[in-house]
Amino acid sequence: NKSGKKRTRVYMDGCFDLMHYGHANALRQAKSLGDELVVGVVSDEEIIANKGPPVLSMEERLVLVSGLKWVDDVITNAPYAITEEFMNRLFNEHKIDYIIHGDDPCLLPDGTDAYALAKKVGRYKQIKRTEGVSSTEIVGRILASAKEIKVREGQECSSLHGEPHNLNSIQGEESRANGDHISHFLPTSRRIVQFSNGSKILKSARQLGDFLLVGIHSDHIVSEQRGMHHPIMHLHERSLSVLACRYVDEVIIGAPLEVTRDMITTFNISLVVHGTVAESNTFLNGKTDPYAVPKSMGIFQMLQSPKNITTTSVAQRILANHEVL
């Protein structure tokens, strides 16, 4: 650069399984400790050896990490612990100045600190871990809602034929049950601004225009559409996760199901897009097509989804692993 000063390169590693805003917030803080952030994505084998199998594969975790706006470079198949050999590779080959990790203890199966070596040579820095979310906790939310569904199915089977279900009481129980695993996470306007700033690179939907606005449905709309056990992540959590993506310029926190004429005018929208893979695309032909207005205006387009993965397919992997079904 012009000043001739060397750019500080920092390294953060992790499993980044079921990518969540806690990971995004860790990477955001890591990036602020340097000029360039290199992220090591730990290999499937190393995760299995140190904490049990991840839900998402190396390839899937890599796509998610690379899509975050604070990430400049990635190292695939990183080791779980900073070994002498890997540390030298980071310093010499990748020109890393500091190795960063959250302020939670990261212990190896033998009880030793995974970052001990980096600490010893004074090349370790710490960021604040985000409370209230972790991959394990997300798996817990999915298992808890699967359990509730199983209990409910049991109850329905044993109820008398022809007896109408008391929907109100079912919904009442449900909201109480869901309250148990509601996240206490609340974003402040400062955190939203921190997540909003970032480098801009065009991709996919973004390539079709020069500003990508993402509408995030409210929790109420999601459970109406998908059933009372959804969403797994609440509106604020989903909003920050989407905002952490480098291709996103802005989010509507609590968008209605239908894209209305009002929205199109207010936000100056020139194209509305929807992926070919979704939890349910049946509505696209039905009466309640949420995209009826943009379609009638000739500004709707389907986008080929690059992968088949959905919330349901991820939940199925988790359930298969835990043999709940």
Q: What angle do CA 253, 259, 260 make, to 5 degrees?
A: 110
Tokens of 96: 């890393």
Among 34, 79, 102, 215, binds ligand CTP (CB under 6 A): 102
Size of the site for ligand CTP (CB under 6 A): 17
Half-sphere exposure of 228 (CA within 13 A, CB side): 16
Residue among 75 and 212 whose Cβ is closer to ligand CTP: 75
Based on the shown chain and the rule CB under 6 A, indicate whether residue 141 belongs to the binding site for ligand CTP.
Answer: no
Q: What kind and span of H or E run contains 99?
A: strand 98-102
Based on the shown chain and the rule CB under 6 A, indicate whether residue 219 belongs to the binding site for ligand CTP.
Answer: no
Based on the shown chain and the rule CB under 6 A, indicate whether residue 290 belongs to the binding site for ligand CTP.
Answer: no
Among 129, 181, 226, 317, binds ligand CTP (CB under 6 A): 129
Residue among 42 and 272 whose Cβ is closer to ligand CTP: 42
Residues 38-97 close enough to bind ligand CTP by CB under 6 A = none
Distance, CA of 181 to CA of 146 (rounded, Å): 13
Among 9, 101, 141, 238, binds ligand CTP (CB under 6 A): 101
Residue among 39 and 222 whose Cβ is closer to ligand CTP: 39
Residue in the block written with tokens 């609340």:
186
Q: Which stretch binds ligand CTP (CB under 6 A): 10-18, 221-229, 243-251, 294-302?
A: 10-18
Among 32, 112, 136, 270, binds ligand CTP (CB under 6 A): 136
Tokens of 115: 């970052």
Tokens of 127: 């960021």
Based on the shown chain and the rule CB under 6 A, indicate whether residue 142 belongs to the binding site for ligand CTP.
Answer: no
Residues 6+ apart with CB under 8 A from 116: 82
Among 134, 183, 196, 225, binds ligand CTP (CB under 6 A): 134
Among 9, 10, 11, 17, binds ligand CTP (CB under 6 A): 17
Based on the shown chain and the rule CB under 6 A, indicate whether residue 14 belongs to the binding site for ligand CTP.
Answer: yes
Q: What is the CA radius of gyration of the chain?
A: 22
Distance, CA of 304 to CA of 320 (rounded, Å): 28
- Based on DSSP, count helices (H) and strands (E) in the chain, helices before strands: 13, 9
Residue closest to 241 by CA, chosen among 108, 138, 122, 115: 138
Based on the shown chain and the rule CB under 6 A, indicate whether residue 23 belongs to the binding site for ligand CTP.
Answer: yes
Distance, CA of 106 to CA of 101 (rounded, Å): 9
Residues that bind ligand CTP (CB under 6 A): 12, 14-17, 22-23, 26, 101-102, 104, 129-130, 133-136
